[in-house]
Amino acid sequence: MSTAIASPSISAAGTSPRGRVLVQTSVAAVLGLGVSLYFWIDSRYPALLKKLHSGRGISIKGALSFDALMPVTPAMSLMTRIGHTTVNWMWTNRIGMTFGICFGAAMITLLATLPRVRFQSPVANTLLGALGGAPLGVCANCVAPIGRSLFVAGASPITVLATMISSPTLNVVVLAMAFTLFPLPIALARLAVPLNLLALVPLIAGRSTSAPARTCATVEQSGWLLPATFTLKTYLANLARLALTTVPLMIVAAFLGAVVVEVLPATSIPTTVSVGGILLVALIGTFLPVPMGFDVAIAFLLMIRGVPAPYVVTLLCTLGAFSVYSALILGHTISWRTAIRLFVAVMALGVAAGLVSTAALRF
């Protein structure tokens, strides 16, 4: 890994190039930390803890969302239901997606001022992404802009994929929900799938190359005010570029997810277990873009309504781990081959979990 630049003295911050970089690094770090703390304290973790404390009383109001801004009823036409479900998804994800874009822009700005953080070992790069992603508290959709920002800033593709996997699947509150609501074997399957997925990350990433590392442009004037102002302007420019790339794809993903969930609602899951049924559930679960913790909630509600355990396990292990939105962002950012590999890996592990649970029920 690259060696970090030694921090200069405070008195040099206004005169030396290294001091100006230190000012820019500090401003970018404060931006990233401020965005994170505001999101975590004001929104995300209170919301997740509320869902955890709901226990068996947890509920959902939309086909793809916890909240429903617009009503969706069977009496409505298919296109109306699709439109309302699309709006409801975007409404539910508005805070998380805003955080993902704002935090992602801060990461591009910050990492451009630092040595490239990466290791020679694929295992170390995977661990770096896993440890960085787990506390983020964002779903597979909202972490996608962050993954793109890490790649643009020069992070290893392995680290990018590990971050995008660990954030939605290894969050401690979501895992606590799974272990609270499901029998221990099912909860352990929910934990085992992302761990196995992380182990496969170096293979999934393959020979994907990183984006060229961005160099840190500095201003020549002395003092701290101009470097700080320059950093804020750079952040806003990165924010605009990231939003321009990710928001249109978010709308596309919301519409595609709404089409699938309205054409093939959860009520269409068959009552008899088959390999074909497990494959279909895994495909839909991997495709659908859902908010944080929605996978645990819907799988639990389906379980208590009598849906066969193999389907519940498959859905629990695929829904929320990846999505069509993540695939679109990865395809545009790293490569379509990488996006397809990750999609197939999530789906295959979900199928394996469903088949194992089917075999276990026979004994």
Name residue 280's beta-bridge partners. Answer: none
Evaluated on CA atoms 189, 174, 159, 237, the torsion sign reads: positive
* pLDDT in the model for residue 94: 92
Residues whose CB is less than 8 angstroms from the CB of residue 117 and which lie 6 or more positions away in sequence, other chains included: 1, 2, 111, 128, 155
CB 201 within 8 A of CB 124: no
Domain boundaries, the chain: 12-361
Spatial distance between the Cα atoms of 347 and 332, rounded to a whole number of angstroms: 21
d(CA 291, CA 294) in angstroms, rounded, equals: 6
Residues in the chain: 363
Of the candidates 313, 327, 309, 304, the residue with the CA atom closest to the CA atom of residue 193 = 313
**241-297 pLDDT, tens digit each:** 999 999 999 999 999 999 999 999 888 888 899 999 999 999 999 999 999 999 999
- The confidence score (pLDDT) of residue 152 equals 92
218 three-state secondary structure: coil
> What is the reported pLDDT for 9?
34
Q: Is 209 helix (H, G, I), strand (E, B) or coil?
A: coil
pLDDT score, position 363: 53
- Full-model pTM: 0.89
CA distance 173 to 193: 17
Cα–Cα nearest to 23, from 14, 36, 32, 11: 14
Distance CA 152, CA 79 (A): 37
The values of phi and psi at residue 319, to 5°, are -65, 120
pLDDT for position 171 = 95
322 three-class SS: strand
Give the residues across from 319 on adjacent strands: 322
Q: Residue 218's pLDDT is what?
A: 54
Structure tokens that stand for 54 in this block: 């709901």
pLDDT at 184: 94
Q: How many whole angstroms separate alpha carbon 147 and alpha carbon 194?
A: 17
DSSP state of 320: T
- Would you state the structure tokens that stand for residue 279, as one six-digit string? 């494959």
Q: How far apart are CA 216 and CA 234, in angstroms?
A: 10
Q: Is 319 helix (H, G, I), strand (E, B) or coil?
A: strand
Pick out the chain residues at pLDDT < 70. Answer: 1-17, 208-224, 360-363
Do 267 and 307 touch, CB atoms closer than 8 A? no
Residue 208: per-residue pLDDT: 65
In angstroms and rounded to an integer, the radius of gyration of the C-alpha atoms of the chain is: 21
Distance of alpha carbon 59 from alpha carbon 363, whole angstroms: 33
Residues ≥6 apart with Cβ < 8 Å to 358: 273, 278, 310
Write down the pLDDT at residue 122. 93
Express each pLDDT in 301-333 by its tens digit: 999 999 999 999 999 999 999 999 999 999 999
